[in-house]
């Protein structure tokens, strides 16, 4: 039997509002969850008693046929020990607890000795007593955040008396998560905050930006990105895109925020870390709402059914709903109860609060909505505006930010970026799941006109076959004349080379696409070149899941004109 590894969730997570250790295991045929939990609990209690510490309560969740997730809460300083103790308890329960405790106790004590840092613990406690936020990793301690923070290497920690406590504090933070739209929403919110006069830090799947200038490219949506950004002394306000992977692997890196936005929840990344249904995924996203202070707001997309059913027990802040229509049932009921809501009425974005409706600006004035055809970007505008209001930003800055934002490769790369290739249209978009493809369908139909359509796509290997089949359904709803499949060699994630394109090909043919309309290309550049050789003026090429940004941008700089 393979040993079960526990991981440390260093902040709020699915199982607890603070740090916890968690492990997932698959039970064998005939094993009952209740019996497995009882056995693990007995071993955990025995280990705790021998160590002379209280036995932690087991938090648990079943999933799938025989999946079982088990977690225990622990203070940050004791987290590695808690993880090691949980691992040992599970291993002993699986083995029938036949071996003496001594070897397990020795291993746990060695981890405790190696992870102890009394000086660090004392400074964190001193900061907690003063109500100051802290960031801790393997290299440094930060007290305060951004422009009001200071950072020290762990091997050079100061004495508490040498710290200028009065100068330290927090900066406003907004957390943005969801399945689709989070990067655009975060960028919109950063633009609004810039127009309000703040020096803004922003993390996203595309990189880390300060005042909308990227300083580090890559997928920066986990706890490491949060710490890196909030250690920058120029940051006066932070907009943090938070991905479910980081939440599940390490938890949330901060304990307090002023606002949180959850755009929507749809099928994507199901089957990882025991998250196999939409409602549980929605609860993962809801972790961000649990750290919003009472004076802030948790902004939820009411057009996404899973978000209307989440457990809000950890929320201390009021909820704000947004939807495309004031007639959305959840939003309408929320308004009747006196809650704040944002929606579109007669083509105008409206803020409704305190029994009053305040028109903001017309949707047609927002270039990234394509006159309203990009309904998903209208939703992104609503969510970002509501979140900006939760941060206390003025209406003028919100309107200015929304009106000035464009869906260009410079301002919002990978989101309906349009180019002209000698009369052939080209669109780059990051849509990588069925909901994302469905969302851009209206815009693509308008851009396509009467021409033919070629779609180039490659997918990561961590999607289930049924998820890939549903993606194919969404692709074929676009009525493509040609589909170009490509491998994603850097994103195999457990699949073999060529496996994902083969699954997509079979699904395309099974759903009725002529095999002659399916071709393969080595990468995104080859996809574009092959599609351009096939296309004629008036046709449209759509490249989805844009991952090779550098080579593609270099090609388009030589061959295309940005629109």
Q: What is the DSSP string of 13-55?
A: -SS-SS-EEEEEEEPPTT--HHHHHHHHHHHHHHHHHHHTSPP
In the predicted model, what is the mean pLDDT of residues 132-157?
A: 97
pLDDT-above-70 percentage for the chain: 99
Instruction: List all residues 6 or more positions away from 562 whose beta carbon is below 8 Å from its beta carbon.
Output: 408, 409, 417, 418, 419, 556
In the predicted model, what is the mean pLDDT of residues 12-25?
A: 96
For residue 431, give both structure tokens.
């849509």
Question: In the prediction, which pLDDT does 37 show?
Answer: 94
Residue 54 confidence class, pLDDT cut points 50, 70, 90: very high
Q: Which of 113-117, 247-251, 361-365, 541-545 has the lowest mean pLDDT?
A: 541-545
Q: Inform me whether the pLDDT recorded for 475 exceeds 80.
A: yes
Question: In the prediction, which pLDDT does 342 show?
Answer: 98
Please, are residues 379 and 322 in contact by the beta-carbon 8 Å criterion?
A: yes
Question: In the prediction, which pLDDT does 433 show?
Answer: 85
Question: In the prediction, which pLDDT does 2 show?
Answer: 63
Q: How many Cβ atoms from other residues are within 10 Å of residue 151's Cβ?
A: 16
Residue 1 confidence class, pLDDT cut points 50, 70, 90: very low
Residues 418-454 have pLDDT tens digits of 999 999 999 998 888 888 898 888 889 888 989 999 9
Q: Inform me whether the pLDDT recorded for 459 exceeds 60.
A: yes
pTM: 0.86
In the predicted model, what is the mean pLDDT of residues 491-500?
A: 85
Residues, the chain? 563
pLDDT-above-90 percentage for the chain: 76
Question: In the prediction, which pLDDT does 228 show?
Answer: 96
Query: Bridge-partner residues for 262, per DSSP?
Result: 177, 300
For residue 310, give both structure tokens.
């989440």
Q: Inform me whether the pLDDT recorded for 407 exceeds 80.
A: no
Residue 65 confidence class, pLDDT cut points 50, 70, 90: confident
Helix (H) or strand (E) holding 351: strand 348-353
Residues 203-222 have pLDDT tens digits of 998 899 999 999 998 888 89
Residues 233-292 have pLDDT tens digits of 999 999 999 998 899 999 999 999 999 999 999 876 576 788 888 999 999 999 999 999
What's the angle, vertex CA 154, arms to CA 151 and CA 157, rounded to 5?
A: 70
Beta-strand ranges (E) seen in 363-487 are 417-421, 424-429, 453-457, 482-486
């Amino acid at each position: 039997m393979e040993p079960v590894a526990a991981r440390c969730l260093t902040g709020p997570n699915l199982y607890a509002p603070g740090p916890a250790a968690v492990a997932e295991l698959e039970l064998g045929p005939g094993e009952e969850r209740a019996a497995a939990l009882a056995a693990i609990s007995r071993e955990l209690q025995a280990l705790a008693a021998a160590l002379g510490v209280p036995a932690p309560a087991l938090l648990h969740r079943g999933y799938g046929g025989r999946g079982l997730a088990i977690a225990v809460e622990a203070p940050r300083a004791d987290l590695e020990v808690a993880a090691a103790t949980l691992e040992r308890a599970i291993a002993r329960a699986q083995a029938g607890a036949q071996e003496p405790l001594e070897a397990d106790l020795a291993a746990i004590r060695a981890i405790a000795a190696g992870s102890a840092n009394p000086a660090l613990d004392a400074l964190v406690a001193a900061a907690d007593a003063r109500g100051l936020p802290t960031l801790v990793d393997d290299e440094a301690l930060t007290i305060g955040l951004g422009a009001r923070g200071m950072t020290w290497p762990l091997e050079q920690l100061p004495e508490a008396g040498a710290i200028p406590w009065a100068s330290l504090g927090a900066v406003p933070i907004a957390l943005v998560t969801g399945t689709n739209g989070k990067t655009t929403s975060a960028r919109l919110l950063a633009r609004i905050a810039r127009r309000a006069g703040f020096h803004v830090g922003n993390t996203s799947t595309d990189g880390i930006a300060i005042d909308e200038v990227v300083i580090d490219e890559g997928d920066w949506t986990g706890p490491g990105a949060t710490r890196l950004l909030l250690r920058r002394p120029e940051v006066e306000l932070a907009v943090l895109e938070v991905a479910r992977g980081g939440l599940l692997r390490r938890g949330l890196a901060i304990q307090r925020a002023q606002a949180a936005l959850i755009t929507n929840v749809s099928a994507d990344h199901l089957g990882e870390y025991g998250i196999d249904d939409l409602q549980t995924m929605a609860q993962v996203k809801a972790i961000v709402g649990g750290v919003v202070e009472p004076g802030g707001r948790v902004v939820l997309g009411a057009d996404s059914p899973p978000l209307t059913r989440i457990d809000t027990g950890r929320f201390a802040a009021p909820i704000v709903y947004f939807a495309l229509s004031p007639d959305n049932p959840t939003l309408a009921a929320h308004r009747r109860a006196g809650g704040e809501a944002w929606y579109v009425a007669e083509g105008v974005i409206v803020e409704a609060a305190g029994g009053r409706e305040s028109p903001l600006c017309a949707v047609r004035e927002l270039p990234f909505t394509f006159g309203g055809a990009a309904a998903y970007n209208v939703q992104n505008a609503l969510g970002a505006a509501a979140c900006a209001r939760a941060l206390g930003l003025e209406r003028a800055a919100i309107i200015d930010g929304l009106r000035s934002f464009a869906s260009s490769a410079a301002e919002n790369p990978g989101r309906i970026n349009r180019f002209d290739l000698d009369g052939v249209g080209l669109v780059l978009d990051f849509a990588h799941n069925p909901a994302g493809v469905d969302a851009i369908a209206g815009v693509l139909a308008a851009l396509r006109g009467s021409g033919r359509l070629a779609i180039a796509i490659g997918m990561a290997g961590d999607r289930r076959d049924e998820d890939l089949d549903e993606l194919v359904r969404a692709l074929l709803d676009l009525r493509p004349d040609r589909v170009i499949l490509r491998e994603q060699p850097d994103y195999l994630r457990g699949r073999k080379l060529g496996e994902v394109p083969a699954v997509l090909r079979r699904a395309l043919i099974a759903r009725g696409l002529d095999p002659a309309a399916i071709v393969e290309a080595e990468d995104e550049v080859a996809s574009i070149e092959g599609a351009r050789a096939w296309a004629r003026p008036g046709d449209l090429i759509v490249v989805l899941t844009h991952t090779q940004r550098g080579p593609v941008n270099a090609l388009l700089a030589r061959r295309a004109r940005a629109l």
